[in-house]
């Protein structure tokens, strides 16, 4: 959990720095800062494209990892039903509308949501596969939208840089 938090804080600090380059470059009409802003956006764009390609290529691996995480939580719950894992596995079941890994005999002791019927409830491993498979296109759409905004920012930074250069050449 803390590693993810550090990554998010680092990404936020990076984005604040990039935004500062863009704002200061535009306010001071500095070609150097606007060039740094463009370069940062170009690197971010390349990282977005790379992450998107790896996300679509590694979909099977992502599904396997998510299923492994559930299996580990499930096994921990089976070893110690009253432990901290109880709430975690319950939240998995509520979010995915499923209960258990495979057979019904093992599911009788699991904390399952009240609003699903056990005979009709599917395996959580199947539901994890279905959710990732169904929603990965949404991640792709959001990635493409963010990449488009990044391209938009790169275009405007270069246009502003060229306008500043041409304005200074006139004077």
Per-residue pLDDT tens over the stretch 111-135: 677 776 555 556 888 888 888 888 8
d(CA 25, CA 112): 55
Q: How many CB atoms lie within 10 A of CB 78?
A: 14
Nearest Cα residue to 39 out of 51, 31, 50, 27: 31
What is the Cα–Cα distance from 39 to 23, expressed in whole angstroms? 15
Whether the full predicted model's pTM is greater than 0.85, yes or no, is no
DSSP 121: P
Give the start-to-end residue ranges of the domains of the chain: 1-169
Q: Which residue in 144, 148, 96 sits closest to 123, CA to CA? A: 96
pLDDT digits (tens, 9 = 90+) for 15-43: 899 999 899 999 999 999 999 999 999 99
């Amino acid at each position: 959990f803390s590693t993810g938090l550090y990554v998010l804080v680092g990404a936020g600090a990076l984005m604040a720095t990039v935004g500062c380059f863009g704002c200061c470059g535009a306010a001071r009409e500095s070609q150097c800062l606007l060039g740094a802003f463009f370069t940062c956006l170009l690197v971010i764009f390349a990282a977005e494209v790379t992450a998107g390609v790896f996300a679509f290529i590694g979909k099977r691996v992502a599904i396997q990892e998510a299923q492994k995480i559930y299996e580990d939580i499930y096994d921990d719950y089976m070893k110690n039903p009253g432990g901290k894992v109880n709430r975690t596995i319950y939240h998995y079941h509520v979010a995915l509308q499923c209960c258990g890994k495979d057979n019904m005999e093992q599911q009788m002791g699991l904390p399952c949501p009240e609003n699903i019927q056990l005979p009709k409830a599917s395996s959580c491993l199947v539901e994890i596969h279905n959710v990732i498979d169904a929603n990965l296109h949404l991640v792709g759409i959001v990635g493409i939208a963010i990449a488009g905004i990044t391209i938009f920012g790169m275009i405007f930074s270069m246009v502003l840089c060229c306008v500043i250069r041409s304005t200074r050449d006139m004077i």
